[in-house]
Amino acid sequence: MPSLKDLKNRIGSVKSTQKITKAKQMVAAAKLRRAEERATEARPYTERMEAVLANLAASAKDSPNAPKLLAGTGKDETHLLIVATADKGLCGSFNSSIVRLAREHIVRLQGEGKKVRIIAVGRKGDDQLKRLYGEMIVWKTNFLDVKQIGFAEAHEIAEKVLAMFDAGEFDVATLFFGKFKSVISQVPTAQQIIPAQAPEGVETPDLKGAVYDYEPEEEEILKALLPRYAAVQIFRALLENVASEQAASMTAMDNATRNAGEMIDSLTLQYNRARQAQITKELIEIISGAEAL
């Protein structure tokens, strides 16, 4: 049985931990609102671009002059996985759920005899993936020195991916990230960005019988639009990740704070019982000594 001093020290240690988790929860709650606003504000632009892409791709995909980013290489042998996670922990299962989805994708592709390459965006994803798939990681980056993620960071990643595609280093690129739904719900998501295809459920504009005449031609527009589409999708994923990370961190720290409170109550009860037992023992010894005299 631990001594009174040990119990007192442990109670003090848990209280210190509780202060840290409470502070982390408050910081995450403060950052969440702004992160959620940025993610929400980016969605209309992304969704509209997806609709435009779906409309243009419907008529240009089968064209012999269709851009390579839309038509693909004609092969399906090498896959590039862009796994976007957070740079820091203390956010529950947010990072591990994204990595788990990527691992399932890797196992399936390897079972089909495909070659897999990985770009790790975020330190936590890199830490988890390199244990089993370190030889597949061809490039990695993080945002530890970036105060606020902007389009410049997404554009840098997109340029790296597009340069690899132009060099023939992969045939299909899939982006993995956590889509923000609510404070208690962040959904691990996989989205193919090369060859470009609009996500399921995207509604194309209802032309009501009208015919659009594009100037320049659809193929020329797509050549300019598709590289930006890849960068926008990566930027959207990074913003969704930031909001999801703060929401998951707030929830995890709230649970940790409550668990610490329950542990403090339990240890305090144990401490009081041990203290009462020690006092009772000392009284018994005093009374026994008095009776012996």
φ, ψ at 137 (rounded to 5°): -75, 115
Work out the number of other CB atoms within 10 angstroms of the CB of residue 53. Answer: 21
Q: Quick one: residue 287, left, alpha or beta (phi over 0 = left, psi -120 to 50 = alpha)?
A: alpha
Catalytic residues: 91
Report yes or no on whether pTM surpasses 0.75: yes
Instruction: Work out the end-to-end distance of the chain between its first and last CA atoms, rounded to an integer number of angstroms.
Output: 33
Going from the N-terminus, what domains does the chain have, and what CATH number goes with each? 4-20+254-292 (1.10.287.80), 34-251 (3.40.1380.10)
Contact at 8 Å (CB) between 200 and 107? no
Q: Does position 14 have pLDDT exceeding 60, yes or no? A: yes
pLDDT range class, residue 211, cuts 50, 70, 90 = low
pLDDT band at 202 (very low <50, low <70, confident <90, very high): low
Largest alpha-carbon pair distance within the chain? 114
| Percentage of the chain modeled with pLDDT above 90 | 24
* Pairing relationship of beta strands 78-84 and 115-121 according to DSSP bridges: parallel
